[in-house]
């Protein structure tokens, strides 16, 4: 079932647009539509909306619930709409990996709005975000980019725009989904020390990139012993950025283990870095 990822500032109209899309696909296209709601996941977790976003651990739990539900529903028919902020680029990439591995198309709907207008909408709702939470979510928001594979195809909708239903339908039902590659297939555990080796190898690659940067060497970085495996990195890359991406890669890999060889770890990590750094 194709996936539509909603994204945008808090109170930018994501749920309104999700319901519009649901009505269109059910009434005009005779599709079954599942809306996976971030707000409902928060309520089921017994958090309040504001408290959930003030605690990174609670946020992580909610994101995990949403991702699990989306992946559970993935098939090649009908429609899933993930109604939430989805403000983290790395999280949208994880969803992309899931749909790509399942050979299911996806698109991204960006409810684009100014921060000021979003705040004005927010204070008129029955349960508004506090100013602190609203500002924090806007600050952390990573805008989608149509050049990123995991954000494409991207449809930006402004508050007064009509939703382009036909183009959205075509993007997820009439175009072939991308073929899975090594970075979106489950990295397997064919050796008992696979995770240990993954930790060691990725740590070494990060250290080598930083060494090259300090020496003034420009990208791409060629991984030793891996013919044609290159990592393109910006000249101002920091240890914090690389460490964060390495942790994301390790976390994702631990959650999706099945069968692969240690020899493929450098290639998998290179694909992951190239997807998130460029």
Residue corresponding to tokens 């696909």: 25
Domains delineated in the chain: 3-180 (3.40.50.300), 183-277 (no CATH)
Report pLDDT digits (tens) over 29-54: 999 999 999 999 998 888 888 988 88
Question: Residues 6 or more apart from 37 whose CB is under 8 A from it?
Answer: 15, 83, 84
User: At 1, is the pLDDT very low, low, confident or very high (cuts 50, 70, 90)?
Assistant: confident
Question: Residues 6 or more apart from 27 whose CB is under 8 A from it?
Answer: none
**pLDDT attached to residue 70:** 93
CA distance 105 to 96: 9
**Mean per-residue pLDDT over the chain, rounded:** 86
Question: Residues 6 or more apart from 183 whose CB is under 8 A from it?
Answer: 97, 268, 271, 272, 275
More confident residue, 8 or 221: 8
Report pLDDT digits (tens) over 170-219: 999 887 655 555 444 544 444 556 777 888 899 999 999 988 888 887 77
Mean pLDDT calculated for residue range 218-227: 83
**pLDDT attached to residue 188:** 46
Beta carbons of 24 and 101 less than 8 angstroms apart: no
Report pLDDT digits (tens) over 77-86: 779 999 999 9
- The DSSP bridge partners found for residue 154 are 108
CA distance 82 to 95: 10
Give the global pTM.
0.65
Report pLDDT digits (tens) over 145-161: 888 889 999 999 988 88
Beta carbons of 168 and 257 less than 8 angstroms apart: no
Q: What is the DSSP letter of 111?
A: E
């Amino acid at each position: 079932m194709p996936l539509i990822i909603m994204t945008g500032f808090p109170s930018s109209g994501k749920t309104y647009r999700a319901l519009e899309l649901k009505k269109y696909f059910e009434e005009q296209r005779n599709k079954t539509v599942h809306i996976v709601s971030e707000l409902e996941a928060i309520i089921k977790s017994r958090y309040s909306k504001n408290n959930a976003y003030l605690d990174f651990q609670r946020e992580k739990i909610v994101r995990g619930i949403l991702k699990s539900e989306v992946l559970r529903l993935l098939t090649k028919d009908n429609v899933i709409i993930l109604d939430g902020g989805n403000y983290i680029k790395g999280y949208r990439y994880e969803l992309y990996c899931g749909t790509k591995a399942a050979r299911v198309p996806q698109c991204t709907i960006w409810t684009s709005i100014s921060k000021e207008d979003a705040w004005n909408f927010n204070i008129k709702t029955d349960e508004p975000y506090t100013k602190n939470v609203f500002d924090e979510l806007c600050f952390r928001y990573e805008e989608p980019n149509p050049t990123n594979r995991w954000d494409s195809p991207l449809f930006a909708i402004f508050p007064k725009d009509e939703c382009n239903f036909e183009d959205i339908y075509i993007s997820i039902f009439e175009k072939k989904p991308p073929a899975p590659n090594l970075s979106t297939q489950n990295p397997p555990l064919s050796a008992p020390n696979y995770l240990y080796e993954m930790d060691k190898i990725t740590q070494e690659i990060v250290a080598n990139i930083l060494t090259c940067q300090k020496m003034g060497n420009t990208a791409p970085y060629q991984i030793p012993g891996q013919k044609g495996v290159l990592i393109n990195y910006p000249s101002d890359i920091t240890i914090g950025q690389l460490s964060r991406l390495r942790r994301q890669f390790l976390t994702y890999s631990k959650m999706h283990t099945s069968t692969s060889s240690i020899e493929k770890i450098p290639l998998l990590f290179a694909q992951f870095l190239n997807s998130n750094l460029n």
